[in-house]
Structure 1
Amino acid sequence: MAVDFPRIFPPDDEATLLARAQSLAGYTLGELAIQAQLPIPANLKRDKGWVGTLLEIHLGASAGSKPEQDFAEIGVELKTIPIDGHGRPLETTFVCVAPLTGNTGVTWQSSHVRHKLSRVLWIPVEGDRAIPLAERRVGAPLLWSPSAEEEEQLQRDWEELMDLIVLGQVERITARHGEVLQIRPKAANSKALTEGIGENGQPIMTLPRGFYLKKTFTGPLLARHFLL
């Protein structure tokens, strides 16, 4: 049965978005779910995107599952990040799907990864599994763009990973490739295959892949801004 969510219109500017995000800090996910009329799952095993969806409703995100920034009108992407009791990220952060074909002429400047990470609203959320989902609290938000040094790190990894894809080495890429950015399979099950390029340039069927930010990137980012 479709649920009619209370409609919050997309923010007109960054200041409005940040103010909305700041107003959510300190609330539990359960409190926010009741306000949004969003059912609370027992856990996140089958509902990985639930926290993001909940915060999108409260913030007025417009993109949904479209391949654009969550707040396309003002060019901001929303990233929720589960943290431990010390404010450290508990897992890697999904950026976007990695394109396995049709990559001729794609550069870092025109890449989807760069577009998605050009301006990010980070919202930390308690992620300790000992805390029931509904009781986990939302933290203070951070509006961020990569520094020149961070962009250089991202570009270096992106270029290395994309070279491997273009050269038909996709099956050899492991989560260890890349200092701050990695590529991992992203599929609900092993039957969900997509087209890729094999070692001899032939079409192959392989698992979809996604770009993820490593904790070695997001950990220092949060620590720097929240003075941990």
Structure 2
Amino acid sequence: MPSFQSLSPNVEPPRSEAELLQRALSLAGRSFAEIAQQHQTGIPQHLRKQKGWGGMLMELCLGASAGSKPEQDFPHLGVELKTIPISTKGRALESTYVAITPLLELKGIDWQHSNVRLKLAKVLWVPIIAERGIPVAERVISTPFLWSPSPAQEAMLQKDWEDHMELISLGKIDTITAHQGEILQIRPKAANSKVRTQATGPNGQIIATLPRGFYLRSRFTSGLLADHFGLN
């Protein structure tokens, strides 16, 4: 079967938010094997080196158009697509990547115009039952849902983002750990530990450091899932 790289998009972008949600809901209960066969693409045996494979499959069958551009997956609708691996009990199995962390040229960047706020303004969550013992082909799509942050959630996101960005602007990027941030954390975002990018050091000099990304904590997304599935 062809790979993603050899496939041309065969699904038109959805014309409305309702159409997008209906497409997503039509996937509920279906396995990766069924969906991949429909779109004539192969399935990896494991996702250690293809961690984003499930998300790319969802983009393909839902008609996402952004690709690798720094915008929402459905920019004409203002909706971001996020797959989330869950347990059979409906809990998030890992943190969720949101956006790359800017490390240079920070002047003028604020929460209102940040990539994190853009990506989380409205999210189509696609939960995937993906416990470790389940083969990739047999993993099943649960019920997708649309979500936007409540005022209280956005306030927490903004505080975490501003706290992180203050440390970065002060040249303290290498002091930030995954333990910081109530719901939004910063973690390394690179193919391996040898990848380096530029950032501002503690004395204003340019230093080499690991690329970073913003991630939502699993306890936060587990709460969203609990609300969605009525588990509270």
TM-score (norm 2): 0.96
Report the Cα offset of residue 85 of structure 1.
1.1
Match of 2:74 in 1: 71
CA offset digits 1:128-184 (Å, max 9, x no partner): 011111001001111010000100110010000000110000000000010100000
2:44 is aligned with 1:41? yes
Report the Cα offset of residue 111 of structure 1.
0.5
Which of the numbers 8, 29, 34 marks the counterpart of 1:31?
A: 34
CA offset digits 1:32-56 (Å, max 9, x no partner): 0111112100101000110000011
* 2:92–2:219 CA contact under 8 A, matched in 1: no
Partner SS state of residue 27, structure 1: coil
Which of the numbers 147, 150, 153 marks the counterpart of 2:150?
A: 147
Which of the numbers 77, 101, 104 marks the counterpart of 1:101?
A: 104
1:1-228 maps to which residues of 2 (within 5 A)?
A: 3-5=6-8, 7-228=10-231
2: CA distance, partners of 1:216 / 1:27: 26
* 1:14–1:74 CA contact under 8 A, matched in 2: yes
Against the structure 1 CA distance between its residues 6 and 154, is the aligned structure 2 distance closer, same or farther, given a 3 Å change threshold? closer
Against the structure 1 CA distance between its residues 71 and 6, is the aligned structure 2 distance closer, same or farther, given a 3 Å change threshold? closer
2: CA distance, partners of 1:175 / 1:4: 37
**AA matched with 1:55:** M
1: CA distance, partners of 2:70 / 2:201: 26
For structure 1, list consecutive stretches of 5 or more residues without a partner in the other structure.
none
* 2:9–2:63 CA contact under 8 A, matched in 1: no
Partner SS state of residue 223, structure 2: helix
Report the Cα offset of residue 6 of structure 1.
5.7
2: CA distance, partners of 1:129 / 1:32: 20
Q: Which runs of 4+ in 1 moved over 2 A?
A: 1-6
CA offset digits 1:102-149 (Å, max 9, x no partner): 111211101000000000000000110111110010011110100001
Against the structure 1 CA distance between its residues 6 and 200, is the aligned structure 2 distance closer, same or farther, given a 3 Å change threshold? closer
2: CA distance, partners of 1:198 / 1:224: 42
For structure 2, list consecutive stretches of 5 or more residues without a partner in the other structure.
none
Report the Cα offset of residue 190 of structure 1.
1.9
Partner SS state of residue 167, structure 2: helix
Against the structure 1 CA distance between its residues 198 and 137, is the aligned structure 2 distance closer, same or farther, given a 3 Å change threshold? same
* 1:197–1:203 CA contact under 8 A, matched in 2: yes
**AA matched with 1:161:** H
Work out the percentage of aligned pairs sharing the same amino acid: 57
**AA matched with 2:138:** E
Greater displacement, 45-54 / 35-44: 35-44
